[in-house]
Amino acid sequence: MLSSKRICRKNKGFTLIEVILVLALSSLIMLPLLSILDFSIKASTSGNEKDELILNGRYAIEYIKDEIRSADVIMPSNKIKGIENEYRNIIGFILVIKEDKNTDKFVTYHAKGGEIIRIVNTAKKGTLPPYNTFTGNNAICEYVHSIDETFLDLENKIIHLDFCLKTDSEEKLRLQSDIFIRVPIDY
């Protein structure tokens, strides 16, 4: 049987130089791997944020397009006095949808707090609702930076939707769409 003194003498362990060499070689291998991992995580996060922006923006554009197609009349938003002062970032047009024989529904959108909000009002047929009675807080899109380039082109009968969306990391994405108006326009 081996004595414990003999085992200790044979088993001296690693020298300081060996330990330093192992640590240096390990760090040379680990640093690039950690760098690649960090880059992959950032790329994945950025990709997910862009996907979220695209999904939000496309949903908003399709939602508004569907409402435009269902409208009976489209009018510029300045037709209702005071609405552009009440809702500073209004989309520039109002959709009039026949509710029943005696009532029309007025629908428009405005940007507020990074969202596009749908607001609605009703009025008797042939009358315009007051600007301060529009209600609704239906957010149809998030991450909105600007809708300033959205406009109603009366001459060519086109609604140009232009949404600038921004991620939390300040990356911007612009989504645009033109919709040809096939219903009467009330000037």
pLDDT at 88: 86
Q: Decide if 18 is inside a domain.
A: no
Span 155-173, mean pLDDT? 92
Q: Decide if 61 is inside a domain.
A: yes
Total count of domains within the chain: 1
Token output for 91: 């989309």
Q: Decide if 16 is inside a domain.
A: no
Q: What percent of the chain has pLDDT over 90?
A: 75
pLDDT at 2: 54
Span 134-147, mean pLDDT? 92
pLDDT at 1: 52
Q: Decide if 145 is inside a domain.
A: yes
Domain limits for position 48: 43-180
pLDDT at 61: 95
Q: What percent of the chain has pLDDT over 70?
A: 93
Token output for 40: 């992959």
9 contacts 3 by C-beta, under 8 angstroms:
no
pLDDT band of 91, cuts 50, 70, 90: very high
